[in-house]
C-alpha cells in the first residue's frame, strides 16, 4: 500500500535526520538566526523601517520596554496622527514613504495615485486564464500563482535596473487589490458554490475604499469602515528587514531573480501560521472559547486561558494567539493604535461586549503569565489580537485576513528588494555544518 510505504519512508527519514539540541549548542548554531538571549542575528542594514521592543544590557540580558515602530525614522503613532488629519489615502502616502524615503507632497501624491490608476487594469483574458480557471482552495496560494503569472504581461520582466524595478513595483501595487478580491471570489465560486460577482475598482476611491467596494455585493461602506481598513493597512505596512517575509524578499532578491518570483516567495512566507497567518488563529481560538466555555464570564475565561498556557486546550501548543511577539515585550504600538479604533468601530456596530472579550484576553493573559512563569514574565498583545476582530466587524471573511496582510506589505517588500539589489548587492549565503550520526563535523 502507498500509505504504508510513505510511513516507512517517514521512519527512515527520522532515523537518518535527527539532530540533538546538544549538537546545536556545542557548535553554537544561531537557530532561527537568533542569539541565545532571543535577539536577532545582525545580517544587514536598512533605512526603511525599524522595530524596537527592548534594550540589551552589558551582560546580554534583554530589558523590556515600550514598543516602538518607525517608518523611515518616523514613529508610527506620529505618522498616523499626521496622516489622520486628511482621513483618506493614508496607505498610499505610507507606500510612497516606504519606497522613496519621504512623505509625499500633494503633487507627488497626486502623481503617485494617478500612476497607480494607470496600472490598475487587469486584462480580461488574464482574469479568465490565470484567476478563474482552477482556483486554489487557499487564497494565498492563488495570489502567489497570480503574481507569478504577471511575469507574462511584462515586456521586460528580468531587468533589475532601478527604473524598471520602480515600474514593476508600482504595477504590482496597483494590481494587487484586484488580484486579492478576484482570487477570493474565484475560490468561493469554485470551492464553496457562492455566486461569482466581480466588481471593478472605482476611479476616485482609495485602495481601502476599493477593497470594501469590490468585496461587498451592495458596494456600500461607511466612512469609518474605510478609515479603519486604511489604518490597518498602514500599521501592517512595514516591520523592519528581519521579519520572515521581508527577509525572504532580501534573500531571494540577492540572487537577482525577477520581481514576481521575489514577491511570490514573500507571499509564501507570510502564509505561515507562525507569521502572517496568526490573525486567523486568533479567530479560531476565540470561536473555540465560545464553543467550550462562556468567555464572557471572567472566571471561566481565566480558567480557559490557563488551560491554553498549560497545553491542555485549543491546539495544545501553549500559545495564546494574539499575545506575545518576537521583538515587542511591554507593548506593540500597532496593537495600541488599533485597539482605540476597534473600540470606536465596535460602538458603531453594537459590538462592545465582544470588544471587551478581546480586551480581557489581553489583560488576563498578562496576569496568568506572571502567575505561572514569574513576576518578570512580560507578554503583550500583538496587532493580530485586534486585527481579526476588526476584520470581523468589517464583514471581511477570515480567509482573506492574511491576503490583506500581504496587500499591506507589497510596497515594503519591493522597497527592501530594491535596497538589497542596489545597495547591499551581496548574495545571501549563510553556512550550515555537516555532521555525522555522533554529532562530529565533517571536514
How high is the pLDDT of residue 374?
Answer: 94
Is 332 an active-site residue? no
Rounded to 5°, angle at Cα 269 from 79 and 334: 25
Q: How far apart are CA 161 and CA 373, in angstroms?
A: 52
Q: How far apart are CA 283 and CA 289, in angstroms?
A: 10
Domain spanning 68-275+399-423: CATH 3.40.50.300? no
Domain(s) of CATH 1.10.580.10: residues in the chain: 68-275+399-423
Quick check: 39 and 56 in contact, CB under 8 A? yes
Rounded to 5°, angle at Cα 15 from 14 and 17: 60
- In the three-class reduction of DSSP (H, G, I as helix; E, B as strand; rest coil), residue 414 is classed as helix
How high is the pLDDT of residue 443?
Answer: 63
How high is the pLDDT of residue 37?
Answer: 87
How high is the pLDDT of residue 8?
Answer: 95
Q: How far apart are CA 168 and CA 421, in angstroms?
A: 14
Backbone CA torsion sign across 271, 273, 275, 278: positive
| Phi-psi map region of 205: left, alpha, beta (phi>0 left; psi -120 to 50 alpha) | beta
How high is the pLDDT of residue 88?
Answer: 79
pTM confidence score? 0.95
How high is the pLDDT of residue 15?
Answer: 92
Give 435's strand partners.
441
Quick check: 331 and 67 in contact, CB under 8 A? yes
Domain(s) of CATH 1.10.230.10: residues in the chain: 277-393
- Active-site pick, 213, 236, 250, 325: 325
Residue at grid coordinates 490583506:
404
CA separation (Å) from 17 to 14, 20, 101? 5, 10, 46
Backbone CA torsion sign across 147, 153, 157, 163: negative
Q: How far apart are CA 379 and CA 359, in angstroms?
A: 14
Mean pLDDT per segment of 10 residues, for the chain of length 443 residues? 92 94 94 91 96 91 94 97 86 98 97 97 93 92 97 97 98 97 90 76 96 94 95 97 97 98 98 86 94 97 97 96 94 97 95 97 97 94 94 93 96 98 96 91 79
What CATH number has the domain spanning 277-393? 1.10.230.10
Residue at grid coordinates 483574458:
125
- Active-site pick, 230, 258, 332, 384: 384
C-alpha cell at 119: 496600472
Is 239 an active-site residue? no
How high is the pLDDT of residue 430?
Answer: 94
Amino acid at each position: 500500500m502507498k500509505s504504508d510505504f510513505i510511513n516507512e519512508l517517514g521512519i527512515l527519514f527520522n532515523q537518518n535526520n535527527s539532530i540533538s539540541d546538544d549538537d546545536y549548542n556545542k557548535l553554537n548554531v544561531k537557530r532561527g538566526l537568533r542569539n541565545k538571549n532571543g535577539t536577532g542575528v545582525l545580517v544587514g542594514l536598512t533605512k526603511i523601517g525599524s522595530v524596537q521592543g527592548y534594550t540589551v544590557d552589558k551582560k546580554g540580558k534583554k530589558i523590556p520596554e515600550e514598543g516602538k515602530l518607525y517608518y523611515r525614522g518616523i514613529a508610527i503613532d506620529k505618522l498616523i496622527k499626521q496622516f489622520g488629519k486628511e482621513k483618506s489615502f493614508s496607505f498610499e502616502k505610507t507606500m510612497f514613504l516606504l519606497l522613496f524615503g519621504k512623505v509625499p507632497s500633494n503633487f507627488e501624491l497626486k502623481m503617485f495615485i494617478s500612476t497607480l490608476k494607470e496600472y490598475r487594469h487587469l486584462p480580461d483574458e488574464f482574469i479568465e486564464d490565470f484567476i478563474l480557471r482552477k482556483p486554489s482552495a487557499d487564497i494565498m496560494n492563488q495570489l502567489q500563482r497570480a503574481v507569478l503569472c504577471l511575469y507574462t504581461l511584462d515586456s521586460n520582466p528580468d531587468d533589475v535596473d532601478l527604473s524598471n524595478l520602480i515600474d514593476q513595483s508600482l504595477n504590482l501595487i496597483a494590481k494587487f487589490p484586484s488580484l486579492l478580491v478576484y482570487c477570493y471570489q474565484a475560490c468561493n465560486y469554485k470551492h464553496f458554490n457562492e455566486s461569482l460577482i466581480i466588481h471593478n475598482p472605482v476611479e476616485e476611491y482609495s485602495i481601502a475604499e476599493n477593497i470594501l467596494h469590490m468585496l461587498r455585493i451592495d458596494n456600500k461602506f461607511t466612512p469609518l469602515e474605510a478609515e479603519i481598513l486604511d489604518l490597518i493597512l498602514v500599521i501592517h505596512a512595514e516591520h523592519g528587514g528581519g521579519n520572515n517575509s521581508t527577509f525572504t524578499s532580501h534573500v531571494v532578491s540577492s540572487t537577482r531573480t525577477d520581481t514576481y518570483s521575489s514577491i511570490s516567495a514573500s507571499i509564501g512566507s507570510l502564509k505561515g501560521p507562525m507569521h502572517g497567518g496568526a490573525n486567523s488563529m486568533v479567530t479560531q481560538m476565540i470561536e473555540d472559547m465560545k464553543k467550550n466555555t462562556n468567555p464572557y464570564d471572567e472566571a471561566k475565561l481565566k480558567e480557559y486561558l490557563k488551560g491554553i498556557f498549560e497545553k491542555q486546550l485549543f491546539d495544545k501548543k501553549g500559545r495564546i494567539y494574539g499575545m506575545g511577539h518576537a521583538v515587542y515585550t511591554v507593548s506593540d504600538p500597532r496593537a495600541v493604535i488599533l485597539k482605540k479604533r476597534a473600540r470606536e468601530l465596535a460602538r458603531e456596530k453594537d459590538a462592545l461586549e465582544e470588544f471587551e472579550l478581546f480586551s480581557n484576553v489581553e489583560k488576563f493573559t498578562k496576569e496568568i503569565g506572571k502567575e505561572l512563569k514569574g513576576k518578570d514574565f512580560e507578554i503583550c498583545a500583538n496587532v493580530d489580537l485586534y486585527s481579526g476582530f476588526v476584520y470581523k466587524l468589517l464583514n471581511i471573511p477570515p480567509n482573506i485576513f492574511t491576503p490583506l496582510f500581504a496587500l499591506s506589505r507589497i510596497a515594503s517588500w519591493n522597497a527592501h528588494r530594491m535596497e538589497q539589489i542596489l545597495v547591499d548587492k551581496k548574495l545571501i549565503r549563510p553556512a550550515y555544518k555537516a555532521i555525522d550520526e555522533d554529532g562530529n563535523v565533517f571536514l
